[in-house]
A and B are shown apart, each in its own frame.
Chain A
């Protein structure tokens, strides 16, 4: 039982890292970035790229991967999302879908579908660790949980305490008023995309090192958006309970039910949430009417 709990927390941490990306972009720009999973994959491949060029230097590789991903987020906003400014939201969401397709095609063109393993290139090992209570997880599992916790603390601090974070929240709530107040909301939107890239790269690097790296990791992004929705699309705090709920349902359905349910269970959670409380556990109610 403690093993199930441990696995749930690990899976939830990964989902939380991805869902943070969704929430950040949605809060700022009201666009649901359906390419977040592919941005995670991109982050993983950046890690692989740098690790192949500079083997045995994990700090450098991770830092480079994260910086490159953040830059990609920035570039994506500037090139693809900013021109969609006047268009209906659904069109913008579709553009993110095409972004996902483009990212995936680019990755396959360069790296083919072969499964890659960056961990040996980083010069690190991933031994199992025994937790109090008898559960066993891998070192990178523990790291995933730690990184997710750190990221959330940092994001909360940033959004609540730093001037830039407060401006971002303002721009997210009412961009027009924020602009009239002198806030450069375009920069803040770009920053939110860069942060989404950053979170995605963290998730991607951790997953690629822990399990494997291949172009189809983007499907994890779809599961994570169910998490974001369950928690509330514009609530960073809601991500944590959302991730725990969805991860718990998934792990339990594998253990005690049909393993094939593992793929569908996040969507069942999503459906249930949409029917009962579409704005999620902690989202703002008015979001429902916005199109």
Chain B
């Protein structure tokens, strides 16, 4: 009995060892590659792979290759905690492209090991906004509070002076709840009539009861800010029960496909990324580069591509050698031209790790044209 255990222990002693450290930029990335949230975050992981393969093939940055270790966290905090510990070893930067539930362990690890942490797929946490924590950076197109400020401004503008009642559909994750509670407060301050926030469990099979609550309360507009399947689930349920109002949600990677599938003129998607249907030169470039290399289509890659561009700029600025503290300082002065993928450049300062100005655009399905069309142009908000 006991020898068996001893044998087992001895066998484990010959487990895989650690690969030797090479002269490279060592980055660690944890993303929701599989799991329910993967449609939103896996494209970031794929964009990174394609982008940095191209960078490495062209000779790397400052003559050094970029080595990125990828870990799958399935959007679960417990796995993310394990990944954070694993990735922190030897990395000069950690990237998180996953749900907000995975943020905490990463921030704790970043703090403990003094490694800069960049959020490249999920919502930007409070620590990236001024006054920013020295180690937290965010390239993602959406961020708390500013999204709501823009959204409510848009709704008010669309209402055109008429009295409208706004409902809010949140997911039962803290960030979504807090954001929409803030939105409700802000709407009241703006003089709009509001309905209390309706919170929806993420894995509910039937959104009808929640949609019913919103319809019964007489919502003319509903604002939703959560994972895509919840945002769109509530909208589809509202449509099924014959609601006639307008819906505004944050547009994640699936926006283009879903707007085309639903063909609903009352559904408005706002976001920071330009949709690929606008066919800018950068879109064609990305499409040709990712061809055959990714499981998600090219028009899912915008978020990840911008994040990769920002990382490349940061590493270039850092130079070589680039220890983690030097990288953190270098990142605090990065300025990246997004070449049309966003409404404007991403500029970080010592105090502001989100960006100096953020840009939003709204899209919806235009039944007359039979295609997706933007509603107006870019709206710029200055981040103070």
Interface residue from B39, B203, B205, B242 paired with A115 (Cβ < 8 Å)? B39
Which stretch, B153-161, B207-215, B264-272, touches the partner chain A?
B207-215
Interface residue from A4, A114, A207 paired with B39 (Cβ < 8 Å)? A114
Taken together as a complex, chains A and B put the C-alpha atoms of A214 and B172 apart, in Å, by: 20
Question: Does A137 contact B206, Cβ atoms closer than 8 Å?
Answer: no
Question: Does B210 contact A254, Cβ atoms closer than 8 Å?
Answer: yes
Question: Does A211 contact B233, Cβ atoms closer than 8 Å?
Answer: yes
Question: Does A117 contact B261, Cβ atoms closer than 8 Å?
Answer: yes
Closest to B199 in A: A259
Interface residues of A in 13-35 (CB under 8 A from B): none
Q: Is A217 an interface residue (CB 8 A)?
A: yes
List chain B residues, Cβ under 8 A from A151.
none
Given contacts A7-B209, A136-B242, A141-B240, contact A263 B204 (CB under 8 A): yes
Q: Is B35 an interface residue (CB 8 A)?
A: yes
Question: Does B233 contact A3, Cβ atoms closer than 8 Å?
Answer: no
Q: Is B295 an interface residue (CB 8 A)?
A: yes
Question: Does B239 contact A128, Cβ atoms closer than 8 Å?
Answer: yes
Interface residues of B in 197-244 (CB under 8 A from A): 198-201, 203-210, 212-213, 216, 229, 233, 236, 239-242
Closest to B213 in A: A255
In the complex, how many angstroms separate the beta carbon of A3 from the nearest chain B beta carbon? 5
Taken together as a complex, chains A and B put the C-alpha atoms of A251 and B212 apart, in Å, by: 11
In the complex, how many angstroms separate the beta carbon of B374 from the nearest chain A beta carbon? 24
Q: Is B63 an interface residue (CB 8 A)?
A: no
Q: Is A162 an interface residue (CB 8 A)?
A: no
Question: Does A130 contact B242, Cβ atoms closer than 8 Å?
Answer: yes
Given contacts A120-B261, A211-B233, contact A263 B203 (CB under 8 A): yes
List chain A residues, Cβ under 8 A from B201.
259-260, 262-263
Most B CB contacts (10 A, CB to CB) among A11, A115, A117, A137 go to: A115
Given contacts A7-B208, A7-B212, A260-B172, contact A216 B36 (CB under 8 A): yes
Q: Is B379 an interface residue (CB 8 A)?
A: no
Interface residue from B35, B198, B209, B229 paired with A212 (Cβ < 8 Å)? B229
Most B CB contacts (10 A, CB to CB) among A7, A130, A137 go to: A7
Question: Does A207 contact B205, Cβ atoms closer than 8 Å?
Answer: yes
Number of interface residues of B (CB under 8 A): 30
In the complex, how many angstroms separate the beta carbon of B227 from the nearest chain A beta carbon? 11
List chain B residues, Cβ under 8 A from A157.
none
Question: Does B212 contact A259, Cβ atoms closer than 8 Å?
Answer: no
Question: Does A137 contact B209, Cβ atoms closer than 8 Å?
Answer: no
In the complex, how many angstroms separate the beta carbon of A162 from the nearest chain B beta carbon? 34
Interface residue from B35, B200, B203, B212 paired with A113 (Cβ < 8 Å)? B35
Question: Does B204 contact A262, Cβ atoms closer than 8 Å?
Answer: yes
Question: Does A259 contact B200, Cβ atoms closer than 8 Å?
Answer: yes
Q: Is B34 an interface residue (CB 8 A)?
A: yes
Question: Does B36 contact A113, Cβ atoms closer than 8 Å?
Answer: yes
List chain B residues, Cβ under 8 A from A117.
261
Taken together as a complex, chains A and B put the C-alpha atoms of A207 and B172 apart, in Å, by: 23
Taken together as a complex, chains A and B put the C-alpha atoms of A216 and B38 apart, in Å, by: 13
Question: Does A126 contact B240, Cβ atoms closer than 8 Å?
Answer: yes
Most A CB contacts (10 A, CB to CB) among B199, B207, B210, B212 go to: B212
Q: Is A220 an interface residue (CB 8 A)?
A: yes
In the complex, how many angstroms separate the beta carbon of B135 from the nearest chain A beta carbon? 31
Taken together as a complex, chains A and B put the C-alpha atoms of A102 and B172 apart, in Å, by: 30
List chain A residues, Cβ under 8 A from B206.
7, 11, 211
Question: Does A259 contact B35, Cβ atoms closer than 8 Å?
Answer: no
List chain B residues, Cβ under 8 A from A136.
240-242
Q: Is A274 an interface residue (CB 8 A)?
A: no
10 extra A-B contacts, CB within 8 A, seeds A7-B206, A113-B39, A263-B204:
A7-B209, A108-B34, A112-B38, A211-B206, A212-B233, A255-B209, A259-B198, A259-B201, A259-B204, A260-B172
Can you name 30 A-B residue pairings with CB atoms under 8 Å?
A3-B216, A7-B208, A7-B209, A10-B208, A108-B34, A112-B34, A112-B38, A113-B35, A113-B39, A114-B38, A115-B39, A117-B261, A128-B239, A128-B240, A137-B241, A138-B240, A138-B241, A207-B205, A211-B205, A211-B206, A211-B233, A212-B233, A216-B36, A219-B203, A255-B213, A259-B199, A259-B210, A260-B201, A262-B201, A263-B201
* 10 A-B pairs with least C-beta separation: A138-B240, A136-B242, A254-B209, A128-B242, A136-B241, A113-B38, A7-B208, A128-B240, A220-B205, A114-B39
